[in-house]
Structure 1
Amino acid sequence: MNAAPAFCAIDFGTSNSAVAVPDTASAMRLVELEPGQRTMPTAVFYFAEGRHDADGPPRAFGRAAVAAYIEGHDGRLMRSMKSILGSPLIDQTTDVGGGRGAKYSDIVSGYLKRLRRLAGEPTRAVLGRPVFFVDGEPERDATAQAQLEACARAVGFHEVHFQYEPIAAAFDFEQQAIREGKGEQIVLVADIGGGTSDFSIVRVGPERVQRLARRDDILASHGVHIAGTDFDRHIELAGLLQEFGYRATGPTGREVPSGIYFDLATWHLINTCYSPLRVAEWRGMKSWFNDVRQHARLMTVLEDRLGHELAARAEGAKIAISGGADTTVDLSHVELGLVLPLSEKTAVDALRADLDRIISTAHETVALAGLKVEQIDALYFTGGSTGLRLLVDGMAAGFPGAARVTGDRFASVATGLGLHAQRLFAPAH
């Protein structure tokens, strides 16, 4: 029997997670978290029925959690758990079905416990973190890291270190560049995932790779709390929810209140739309709508609890248009025959402000490093949202002299965290 690994590296992502463990004395490997998969959706499904066991309430994780939701099991799907960190919600209890409640901190801990078990139950870990958990609020940002560390320690990690996710990705890029015979370079890492868009400018090269202390090579780090889940929300609001009454005007000229639509488009707030009081309130607001079909569709979503499915359709639409093509969104589960067109132009218009903000943050990072655009040798793209062509093309256009390199969108950060963990924890040899 193989001995349990002494340490691991965890990329706990908003949308997907990955884990690296020692493979040999000089290498790390990504853990197979699900059959044939080195990454796993950051998702937990709480079943409304079933008995608690030593691990807690009956749950499914990753793709099994998403499948349980799609198959219609009674319960609650939790996603985007990372977005809770730094907020007062972490200590609150939420309904997970079957008359059960769970603290958000326990939901995060339960997922980390699953990752630790799949890694072989090591006791030391490097965890990735965004440059900012919370924009512009240093105290909340520090609180978010402390909360994540507390969750990690609660499931058996006795020693916990953190590394910025884009810096970890830079270490992955460095390994690739060295294998290709490249010398010293200055790389701008763009790590754009589900919750944050993070940037680091790092000096990499064969003369630097073995240094444990790389502080002098990290020229700047910056980020903004805008990324894939924000794209999903904007596409849902602009491309889907207008057919449910969002921004509609009623007979009196008043606009239908928009709060319910914003909550329906935000994963961790969707469940708040189903409270009996709120559903009853909206049932009585039919007279606010010029088009009563929009009210009927909204009530179907609220009464049949279809908000998460609607959000998933918006996410699917984002992926479909990511290469620049128009698509359609099938909403026949809400109303028979309801299929909505979604054009690339609608998506671009919905995302423009976010894309511009992310691109400007990349340029702000260059300025923070005291560099000019011309001094950036390479752009390294990682994170699930770098599959969005509109974003990557827009950013690359601002750095015409830099090589454009795309890493493993879902595993580059975990690979780089593993390299950092190895340098940190592996015994000298």
Structure 2
Amino acid sequence: MICGFDYGTSNCALGVSQGSNVQLVTLEGNHTFLPSTVYALDRDLITESVGRNIQEQQAKKAFVESRRNALTRAQRARYEEDIDDNDQVLFFGREAFEEYFQWPEDGYFVKSPKSFLGGTGLRTEHINFFEDVVAAMMQNIKQRAEKQLGEEITHTVIGRPVNFQGIDAEASNRQALEILTAAGKRAGFKEIEFLYEPIAAGLDFEAKLIENKTVLVVDIGGGTTDCAMVRMGPEYVVKDDRSHDFLGHTGERVGGNDLDIRIAGKHLMPLFGMDSTLKNGLPMPTQMYWNAVTTNDVSAIATFNSMETRNQIEQLRLDASEPKLIERFLLMREEKQNYHIVRNAEEAKIALSEIIDHRVLMDYIEAGLETSITREALAKSIEPPLERMLQLMTSVIEQAGEQPDLIYMTGGSAKSPVIRDAIQQCIGNIPVLDGDHFGSVAAGLTVWSQRVFR
């Protein structure tokens, strides 16, 4: 069986063709998308799970040989924590969030691992671990889909951003695609192709057009914003060679996660002392606060979790004019609640797409701890990443050398009226249409899979 696989930064989705129709597979409850999260009782149990789920024997043998040290540590963790072979050790999607919220300091939680792919300066063991995280997630999603469909999935087209990272894009993209390919093979896909995510989103939209249009496709994903200018419609959809229809594309590592980080920093970190002062009247240093919420940056999180940062916070508690705020910050760090805070910011962003004032409750930190965020305040706090998104849109229009007839928006953050208003002000009075914010990329990848594997 053939599928389109949207391995997204924030969510994953998988589509298959049923006759001439594309169907998104139910992955969790009634949901056709699964949050890109995993919670493990121990980090090395992720690697162990991948090895156990590789079906092809030669591939399994090679994997076990390459991960011998991690697999030995996994066995030690099972012994020390008294984890039985039949115990559930990995949790995915919403279940992973639930486990993390309940036991943040006890297990190993990963959110949006796609954000880390293509990072510079990664050692071999880091790359191997990212391969294992991605493979574990792909194995899980493929197994869920096959259970629903009652059939093995062998071929897939996986979505990819235009650029995974901003620095040394060519090497970054090569490394990221190698990780995705290795993970996909270990998940059991026999053939893997890739397609730009904004083009995939456009293919899904094209099937609904009744006349030809030049469309600016804007895909604001969790980790990247990707734009494509595409000629599409009844005259183009029947063509096998679409290379001349794609007039330009841009992409950068700025997406919904960056908006969440800005919201968390500007609106939630002040509860932990970010905007307070020292006894000498100087402002509180802010870098440690940004490190706490920059959950899509391995080095930032490593720095925040370091002993050096802990010592810095302890010293600032003594020097602070409001030491209780710093004590709250220290407690949050010790209990590893920073991912929960960024989740609160994401929930606020989603809520403020519908309402103009949202109350954030943080009882998990301290009884009665809360704050309110207005849509207007949110708009101001996300200005820097939003400006970068708008630059990508204007750049692809310049590449194409013409204005679009309409703008097609997809991706979770594309629902925000703040973003839509900014686009209209920047690009002009061009119709803006919505796609399935969580399923259009998977649907387009499925359409393409039927072409490349037919």
Q: What TM-score comes out, normalization by structure 1 length? A: 0.88
Q: Is the 8 A contact 2:39 2:91 kept in 1?
A: yes
For residues 429 and 330 of structure 2, what CA distance do their matches in structure 1 show? 53
**Which residue pairs with 2:85 in the alignment?**
none
Counterpart of 2:129 in structure 1: which amino acid? K
- Is 1:318 equivalent to 2:344 in the alignment? no
SS in 2 for 1:379: strand
Q: Is the 8 A contact 2:43 2:108 kept in 1?
A: no
Unmatched 5+ residue regions in structure 1? Answer: 95-101
Q: Is the 8 A contact 1:86 1:141 kept in 2?
A: yes
Counterpart of 2:373 in structure 1: which amino acid? L
Q: Is the 8 A contact 2:91 2:99 kept in 1?
A: yes
2:414 to 383, 386, 406: 386
Farther-moved stretch of structure 1 (266-275 vs 383-392): 266-275
For residues 429 and 260 of structure 2, what CA distance do their matches in structure 1 show? 32
CA separation of 1:230 and 1:421: change in aligned 2, threshold 3 A: same
Q: Deviations over 1:315-361 (max 9, x none)?
A: 11222223451222222322322221223332121111222221222
- Is 1:109 equivalent to 2:135 in the alignment? yes
SS in 2 for 1:112: helix
- Is 1:47 equivalent to 2:44 in the alignment? no
Q: Is the 8 A contact 1:201 1:219 kept in 2?
A: yes
Once the two structures are TM-superposed, the CA of residue 47 in structure 1 deviates from its matched residue by 2.0
**Which residue pairs with 1:34 in the alignment?**
28
CA separation of 1:378 and 1:63: change in aligned 2, threshold 3 A: same
SS in 1 for 2:236: coil
Q: Where is the helix percentage greater, Structure 1 or Structure 2?
A: 2
CA separation of 1:286 and 1:240: change in aligned 2, threshold 3 A: same
Q: Deviations over 1:213-236 (max 9, x none)?
A: 211110110122211111111111
Counterpart of 1:347 in structure 2: which amino acid? L
SS in 1 for 2:372: strand
**Which residue pairs with 1:99 in the alignment?**
none
1:171 to 196, 203, 209: 203
CA separation of 1:93 and 1:49: change in aligned 2, threshold 3 A: closer
Counterpart of 2:116 in structure 1: which amino acid? I
Q: Deviations over 1:91-132 (max 9, x none)?
A: 4459xxxxxxx8222111111112222333423211100111
Q: Is the 8 A contact 1:91 1:105 kept in 2?
A: no
Q: Is the 8 A contact 2:277 2:322 kept in 1?
A: no
**Which residue pairs with 2:238 in the alignment?**
210
Q: Deviations over 1:360-419 (max 9, x none)?
A: 221111000111x3xx11111100011111001221344445332101000001000100
For residues 421 and 192 of structure 1, what CA distance do their matches in structure 2 show? 22
For residues 352 and 414 of structure 2, what CA distance do their matches in structure 1 show? 13
Once the two structures are TM-superposed, the CA of residue 211 in structure 1 deviates from its matched residue by 2.1
Once the two structures are TM-superposed, the CA of residue 49 in structure 1 deviates from its matched residue by 11
For residues 285 and 335 of structure 1, what CA distance do their matches in structure 2 show? 20
SS in 1 for 2:409: strand
**Which residue pairs with 2:365 in the alignment?**
334
CA separation of 1:218 and 1:321: change in aligned 2, threshold 3 A: same
For residues 365 and 269 of structure 2, what CA distance do their matches in structure 1 show? 12
Q: Is the 8 A contact 1:90 1:105 kept in 2?
A: no
- Is 1:12 equivalent to 2:43 in the alignment? no
Q: Is the 8 A contact 1:90 1:104 kept in 2?
A: no
For residues 167 and 125 of structure 2, what CA distance do their matches in structure 1 show? 24
For residues 83 and 90 of structure 1, what CA distance do their matches in structure 2 show? 17
- Is 1:125 equivalent to 2:156 in the alignment? yes
SS in 2 for 1:231: helix
**Which residue pairs with 1:80 in the alignment?**
112
SS in 1 for 2:277: coil
Farther-moved stretch of structure 1 (246-255 vs 387-396): 246-255
Identity among equivalent pairs (%): 31
- Is 1:200 equivalent to 2:228 in the alignment? yes
Q: Is the 8 A contact 1:250 1:287 kept in 2?
A: no
For residues 36 and 324 of structure 1, what CA distance do their matches in structure 2 show? 25
SS in 2 for 1:198: strand
Counterpart of 2:187 in structure 1: which amino acid? V
For residues 22 and 331 of structure 1, what CA distance do their matches in structure 2 show? 43
For residues 222 and 187 of structure 2, what CA distance do their matches in structure 1 show? 25
Question: What RMSD over aligned residues (CA atoms) do the two structures have, in Å?
Answer: 2.4
Q: Is the 8 A contact 1:90 1:103 kept in 2?
A: no
CA separation of 1:111 and 1:277: change in aligned 2, threshold 3 A: same
Q: Is the 8 A contact 1:274 1:302 kept in 2?
A: yes
Q: Is the 8 A contact 1:379 1:396 kept in 2?
A: no
Give the number of aligned pairs. 406
For residues 388 and 290 of structure 2, what CA distance do their matches in structure 1 show? 20
Once the two structures are TM-superposed, the CA of residue 90 in structure 1 deviates from its matched residue by 7.5
Counterpart of 1:68 in structure 2: which amino acid? E
CA separation of 1:36 and 1:332: change in aligned 2, threshold 3 A: closer
CA separation of 1:62 and 1:91: change in aligned 2, threshold 3 A: farther
- Is 1:420 equivalent to 2:414 in the alignment? no
CA separation of 1:166 and 1:288: change in aligned 2, threshold 3 A: same
For residues 245 and 271 of structure 2, what CA distance do their matches in structure 1 show? 51
Q: Is the 8 A contact 2:130 2:179 kept in 1?
A: no
Q: Is the 8 A contact 2:117 2:130 kept in 1?
A: no
